[in-house]
Amino acid sequence: MPASIDPATGYRHYDTSQVRTAEIIRRFRALDMPVPEVKAVLAAPDPAARNALVAAHLRRMESQLDRTRQAVGTLRELLDPSSARPPVDVRFRSVPALRVPAISATVRRGEVDVWWRTALDELYGALRAAGVAPAGPPGGLYEPALFADDEGRATLFVPADADVPPAGRVVMTEVPPAELAVTVHAGPHAEAGRTYAELGTYVAERLLAADGPVRENYLVGGRETDDESRWRTEICWPVLAVAAG
């Protein structure tokens, strides 16, 4: 707050005791820190609390920088065909209906990562509490609207040896049967957009696309290794039944 405001001109006057605060505000705003967070930093009760707030903002900036670098890499591949990856390897698969413990919600595209992590932890927690073992890798269902309109229905599930009692957001759900075109994405989830584009193009060019959610099966992920280059995710696009025949 300025020390005073000229009622005639609206000019803001600051005294020398406010210079340091003004400089702190300017620096944090230059780092895209939202105004409410700047206020929280200035009002922090001690250095530890203040440093925790600043560190959290830096982590968000680093995450955004990683996403920007990945997007730049994808655009470069699109602009330079010579740098393109080998053609996508597609297999067809028919999957039966599956009864699984699951968490479903309507989520925004920018919130999927956080929702996915918390939902997966909650699912495995429910299995442990019920004394039920997983019967396969976790999977997800994602409505096309999530990609086209930036908001849609998402379901995360873990195959299990037995039914799990309802707990929190976890309920038993039936995943419907489907015919799928399947390829494997190698690497971080944040870079899966390229694999999605390649698989979607493969399906569209062959006029195979069918209605239904896209599926993902998380064969290797953060629960198995911290090395994201070793992560493996099956991306499964719904196709016409004749395609898998």
pLDDT tens track for 188-224 = 988 888 899 889 888 988 888 899 999 999 999 999 9
The total number of structural domains in the chain stands at 2
155 in Cβ contact with 104 (< 8 Å): yes
**pLDDT at position 28:** 72
Amino acid, res. 24: I
On average, the pLDDT of the chain sits at 83
Of 58, 79, 100, which closes a domain?
79
pLDDT reading at 86 higher than 70: no
Is the residue at 114 inside a domain?
yes
Percent of the residues in the chain that have a pLDDT greater than 90, as a whole number: 47
Could you tell me if 233 and 188 are in contact, meaning their C-beta atoms sit under 8 angstroms apart? no
pLDDT digits (tens, 9 = 90+) for 93-133: 999 999 999 999 999 988 999 999 999 999 999 999 999 99
Helix or strand run (H / E) with residue 146? helix 144-148
Instruction: Fill in the amino acid letter for 114.
Output: V
Same domain, 18 and 128: no
In the sheet that holds 151-157, the strands lie side by side as 91-95, 178-186, 232-238, 214-220, 139-142, 151-157, 98-108, 171-175
Asked if residue 97 and residue 42 are part of one domain, the reply reads no
In this structure, is residue 196 part of a structural domain? yes
Residues 34 and 141 in one domain: no
Q: Are 183 and 89 in contact (CB under 8 A)?
A: yes
Q: Is 33 helix (H, G, I), strand (E, B) or coil?
A: coil
Q: What is the pLDDT of residue 181?
A: 95
> Which structural domain range is residue 162 located in?
91-244
Q: Which residues pair with 186 in a beta bridge?
A: 232
**59 belongs to a structural domain:** yes
In three-state secondary structure terms, 84 is coil
d(CA 206, CA 200): 10
DSSP annotation of 106 reads E
The encoded tokens of residue 37 equal 């967070």
Question: Does residue 186 belong to any structural domain of this protein?
Answer: yes
Is 84 among the domain residues?
no
Give the CATH number for residue 200.
3.20.80.10
- Please state, in angstroms and rounded to a whole number, the distance separating the CA atoms of residues 182 and 91: 5
